[in-house]
Amino acid sequence: MTKMTQAPTPQQQTGILSTSATDGTRRRRRKALRLWSVTALAVLISFLLNLPLLNAINVSLKPDAQMNAPLSAPTTPTLEHYANALGAAGYDFPTFFLNSFLISLGTVGLILIITVPACYAGLRLQFAKGLVVTSIIGLRLLPAIFFAIPIYVLFMTTGLLDTVVGLVLANTLLNLPLAIVLLSSGINDLPQEIEEAARVDGASVYRILRAIVVPILAPTLVAVAVLTFLFSWNEYLFGLILSSTQSTPITVGAANFVTSYGIRWGDLSALTVLSSIVPLGFAIFAQRFLVSGMTVGAVKG
């Protein structure tokens, strides 16, 4: 005989539903706890990473009499240091800002003009079978100081010392290997069938590069532009060696606040805050392109 399964009583059904509701509540609480834990950890890490900038903002708002207490909040906030950074102290810092902007922007433009056709020719057209691309990437292993004396002698001979054009060329040399690495990964991930179809339809190499490759590589190009701009804006060594008065960037101009009488911490902090606005705004504006461009070639299906 087949044993009949007895249906649960109303009391048992109520207990089952109550247990399920309790388990669901516990799962939601655990999920919320994990979410809050991750959020708190992210906030803590963000705070630690931005602590130097926050401290610079704090110091830039302090009067000179309060500089002996670096960790205290300003009792009477002042904008005097920002006025000094912008030229009230006798330094031509607006020109330094302009020089840094022109140098960074010029480096970005020159990098993109050189690397896009160079990488495409080396990887797709088998120009020198990629040997040139590989050789240039190897330059990334050499420190910047390795090129300082040869570039100084070359620029002194050609009249490029203390010029914005000279610093653009020097920064292009520094950032070229990284740009080639990123663009090479992006081009290698492009499906060649699209280019072959365009070639069958009669498209030239230049048209394929302009109408197909460049639009598809837009996120990678933006990532290259952002990184090149940031590295050029923060570059100090070549700015110190190759400039004196006419093309001084903001990183070198900030040293004017280190005087023989002491370091003017308030003015220097204000200059640090002001000089961070441009690269931070540029990076935030292109953040989603930067992330997608940097992850090109990271995952292979």
Alpha-helix runs per DSSP H in the chain? 10-49, 51-60, 80-83, 93-123, 131-138, 148-158, 164-188, 192-200, 205-208, 214-216, 218-234, 237-242, 250-253, 265-285, 287-294
Q: What is the largest CA-CA distance in the chain?
A: 108
Cβ within 8 Å of residue 271, ≥6 positions away: 85, 93, 250, 253, 254, 257
Q: Rounded to the nearest 5°, which phi and psi values hold at 262?
A: 140, 180
Residue 297's pLDDT is: 47
Q: How far apart are CA 238 and CA 151, in angstroms?
A: 9
Residue 299's pLDDT is: 45
Cβ within 8 Å of residue 226, ≥6 positions away: 282, 283, 286, 289, 290
Q: What percent of the chain has pLDDT over 90?
A: 15
Q: Cβ(182)–Cβ(224) under 8 Å?
A: yes
Q: How far apart are CA 215 and CA 291, in angstroms?
A: 17
Task: Give the least confident one: 86-90, 133-137, 242-246, 297-301.
Answer: 297-301
C-alpha atoms less than 13 angstroms from C-alpha of 286 in its C-beta half-sphere:
22
Q: What percent of the chain has pLDDT over 70?
A: 82
pLDDT digits (tens, 9 = 90+) for 69-85: 767 787 788 888 888 88
The tokens of 89 are what? 């102290």
Question: Could you tell me the CA-to-CA distances from 231 to 8, 108, 228, 270, 288 in Å, in that order?
Answer: 71, 10, 5, 21, 19
SS3 184: helix
DSSP state of 79: -
Residue with tokens 């960037």: 249
Residue with tokens 């990488």: 119
Q: How far apart are CA 37 and CA 110, in angstroms?
A: 45
pLDDT digits (tens, 9 = 90+) for 15-43: 554 566 566 677 777 777 888 888 888 88
pTM for this one? 0.78
Q: How far apart are CA 148 and CA 174, in angstroms?
A: 11
205 pLDDT band (50/70/90 cuts)?
confident
Q: Which residue has the higher pLDDT, 131 or 228?
A: 228
What is the separation of C-alpha 157 from the centre of its chain, rounded to a whole number of angstroms? 34
104 pLDDT band (50/70/90 cuts)?
very high
pLDDT at 301 exceeding the cut of 80: no
What's the average model confidence in pLDDT over 148-175? 92
Amino acid at 37: S
Q: Rounded to the nearest 5°, which phi and psi values hold at 263?
A: -95, 125
Residue 155's pLDDT is: 92
pLDDT at 46 exceeding the cut of 60: yes
Residue 289's pLDDT is: 64
What's the average model confidence in pLDDT over 75-98? 82
Amino acid at 145: I
What is the separation of C-alpha 277 from the centre of its chain, rounded to a whole number of angstroms? 13
